[in-house]
Amino acid sequence: SQQGEEDPQALSIQEGENATMNCSYKTSINNLQWYRQNSGRGLVHLILIRSNEREKHSGRLRVTLDTSKKSSSLLITASRAADTASYFCATAYSGGYQKVTFGTGTKLQVIP
Amino acid sequence: ETGVTQSPTHLIKTRGQQVTLRCSSQSGHNTVSWYQQALGQGPQFIFQYYREEENGRGNFPPRFSGLQFPNYSSELNVNALELDDSALYLCASSPNRGMIGSDTQYFGPGTRLTVL
């Protein structure tokens, strides 16, 4: 079963605009991670935010985490055509082993 | 490039057959996880191996089994294939526990399995 739900399911924007994707989850977590997937191939790790952190930046990426609302958002600023991909949030909980549970994904299209 | 490789890239099998998928982790990564990703869905956790022992399993039946070898390679075996097993199978390796970044997974490109 999927732990997270991404919103929106699909997003189409013009190059240069900002893209915001949201993720909601159901249970306690140790950390939340965002991944990118191009054309149904392997996933690329983008950023990890721990449960005691509220905001994290990496280049054009900004991730926020609100554990009281069990939600996270990923902001991509100044989007580029190369950002076109599916984006997944993944929650991780360590209970003997680190179980990572992925959400349903947001399909982002950046139009040149 | 994550340094994680998978073989084969594509595979076509018929219902009832058995399949073995292979993964080669990055050197020094002693944890490997396998995921099944159906079309249009997020990856679903199958199981995780740590130091050649299965130490976590998702909601998959026993006909999904695995092995991890000392040389950082691993296998996913699926017996009695069903049509619903058609999916992209991904392996992901993680650095040794306790080391910086040990909670980050590095994914291979996947094996696309089609069951007819």
The pLDDT score that the predictor gives to residue B3 is 86
Question: How confident is the model at residue B62, as a pLDDT?
Answer: 96
Nearest-neighbour CA in chain B from A40: distance (Å): 8
pLDDT digits (tens, 9 = 90+) for B44-81: 999 999 888 988 888 999 999 999 998 889 999 999 99
**Is a pLDDT exceeding 90 seen at residue A77?**
yes
pLDDT of residue A90: 92
Q: Give B116's pLDDT tier (boundaries 50, 70, 90).
A: very high
Mean pLDDT of B16-45: 92
Between B71 and A88, residue with greater pLDDT: A88
Provide DSSP, A31-43: EEEEEEESTTS-E
**Searching chain B, which residue's CA lies closest to the CA of residue A1?**
B44
User: What pLDDT score does B28 carry?
Assistant: 79
Asked if A11 and A110 touch (Cβ cutoff 8 Å), the reply is no
- Restricting to B residues 4-63, those with a Cβ less than 8 Å away from any Cβ of A are 4, 31, 33, 35, 37, 39, 41-45, 48, 50, 55-56, 58-59
Instruction: Give the closest of B59, B94, B107 to A43, CB-based.
Output: B107
Q: Which residue of A has its CA nearest to B111?
A: A41
pLDDT score at A95: 63
